[in-house]
A and B are shown apart, each in its own frame.
Chain A
Amino acid sequence: DTAVSQTPKYLVTQMGNDKSIKCEQNLGHDTMYWYKQDSKKFLKIMFSYNNKELIINETVPNRFSPKSPDKAHLNLHINSLELGDSAVYFCASSQDLVGGGKSTDTQYFGPGTRLTVL
Chain B
Amino acid sequence: QKEVEQNSGPLSVPEGAIASLNCTYSDRGSQSFFWYRQYSGKSPELIMFIYSNGDKEDGRFTAQLNKASQYVSLLIRDSQPSDSATYLCAVISRETSGSRLTFGEGTQLTVNP
Chain A partners chain B: no
